[in-house]
Amino acid sequence: MLLWTTIKLALRSMLANKLRAILTMLGMIIGVAAVVAMMALGNGVRQSILNRISRMGKNTIMIFPHSPTIPPVLNGQPLPLTLGDARSVLGIRGVKRVSPVVAQFEPVKWEADFTRCNVIGIAPTWLKIHNFQIQNGRNINDFDVRDLASVAVIGPETASRLFGSMDPLGRKITVGTVRFQVIGVLVAKGRQGWYDPDNQILIPYTTAMTDLFGRTVALNNISIQVDHMADLQRVQIACEHRLRRRHDLIAGDTDDFWISNQIRIIQIANRIGGTITWFLGSVAGIALLVGGIGIMNIMLVTVTERTREIGIRKAIGARQRDILRQFLVEAALISLLGGLIGAGAGVVVSHYVHIPRWHTPGRVEPSMVLLALSISAAIGIFFGYYPARRAARLNPIEALRHE
């Protein structure tokens, strides 16, 4: 029996029982729509994470003052990063910008208004490293750093909390016990998970260390931007070698610092996003399984109803494989048509349903739709095989006697 003839017979059978066919497809429609929508939402979350990472700077390396695998204190002594360390990595080939960073949460006050936010001591290069822009006013400059100036650039959320709708430029705020003049306001970026770049105050790192935090040496981290033509991994290795020499570490000694680059962060984000995508897709796949069971159930009923028809076909020369193929094609066709409708519904749903806290639409990729359709067709064949095999093995004489 030709395949096209088999398909026409399957379509004719479906049209003869339209309501049954639609109800059978419904399980696959819901299952495929759920799989496409959930995988698209997971992919949207992954892309949102990557976009947020990119917004915080490109080609960046961060050096922290101790390894996450060892305690920050060894033999009772702190393991600091110093300004000398920051200056030393600036001379590495491929390094474009460097900024020492000191940070601490501090109370901030203007007249009767009060808030608490992260106060970060930076060099003028820090904004370019982390892709920040000034909305109003100006950035901290080299003269501010040299003169230990009491000036501050504030985030838009900090400005709103302290000044409401008033212009903050030129006004004096009290950070801890030190008064600073607001010289600039940052462009809003939006919250990045636990870190809110819109609620922070940036001051010269020299002022922060000397007047505010009371530090003379220790840094929270060193921010580095690598030239786009340079190899990020090679620059990281060079930074590691430079710091090991400065910290008098010999072969076998554990690093007393920790270096993280953007590639590693992106890899972690991809793994997290991929896990979310496949987890959501797997949960939604349960609906596909239920739809497959529904197909098997309906096909068994169909075989029982068409037993006499099967007997007649066998009596006039149809072979077992012809009967098997006929019912398999019918099951696969029901599943595939349901999958096509479900895929379309899933694409639509993914644009209107958001995961709480992420507020990002799903991102549908062709591979997701193809995967969902392939799985739906495979489920139709898998769950349709037993009814088809049962039909193919019917005894023609017994089938002809069936009423």
* Residues 173-224: tens digit of each pLDDT: 999 889 999 999 999 987 766 678 889 999 999 999 998 887 766 899 999 9
SS3 360: coil
DSSP 167-194: --TT-EEEETTEEEEEEEEEPP---BTT
Angle at 32 between CA 376 and CA 350, to 5 degrees: 150
Angle value at C-alpha 353, between 348 and 355, nearest 5 degrees? 145
pLDDT of residue 171: 93
Q: Rounded CA gap, 274 and 7, in Å?
A: 38
Q: Which of 130, 131, 102, 134 is nearest to 118 (CA)?
A: 102
Whole-number Å distance between alpha carbons of 220 and 260: 14
Domain boundaries, the chain: 3-52+267-401, 66-256
∠ CA 143-146-147, nearest 5°, is 85
Amino acid of residue 33: A
pLDDT of residue 307: 73
Report yes or no: 48 and 380 within 8 Å, Cβ to Cβ: no
- CA–chain centroid gap for 218, Å, is 34
The residue to which tokens 């006697």 are assigned = 401
pLDDT in 10s for each residue of the chain, 403 residues: 466 666 776 677 777 777 777 887 888 888 888 888 888 887 777 777 777 766 666 788 889 987 544 444 444 444 578 899 999 998 899 899 999 999 999 899 988 888 889 999 999 999 999 889 999 999 999 999 999 999 999 999 999 999 888 999 999 999 988 999 999 999 998 776 667 888 999 999 999 999 888 776 689 999 999 887 778 888 888 999 999 888 888 887 888 888 887 777 777 777 777 777 777 777 777 777 788 888 888 877 777 777 777 777 777 777 777 777 777 777 888 888 888 888 888 888 877 766 655 566 677 778 778 877 888 888 878 887 878 787 777 766 666 665 5
Backbone torsions φ then ψ of 200, nearest 5 degrees = -155, 160
Tally of residues, the chain:
403
Helices 366-392, 320-350: crossing angle, 10 deg rounding: 150
Tokens matching residue 346: 């899933």
Q: Output the six-digit token pair for 129.
A: 């490293």
- Residue burial 330-342, b: 16+ Cβ < 10 Å; e: rest: bbbbbbbbbbbbb
Integer Cα distance of 118 and 130 in angstroms: 16
Q: pTM for this one?
A: 0.64
Distances (CA, A) of 401 to 308, 395, 396, 398: 7, 10, 9, 5
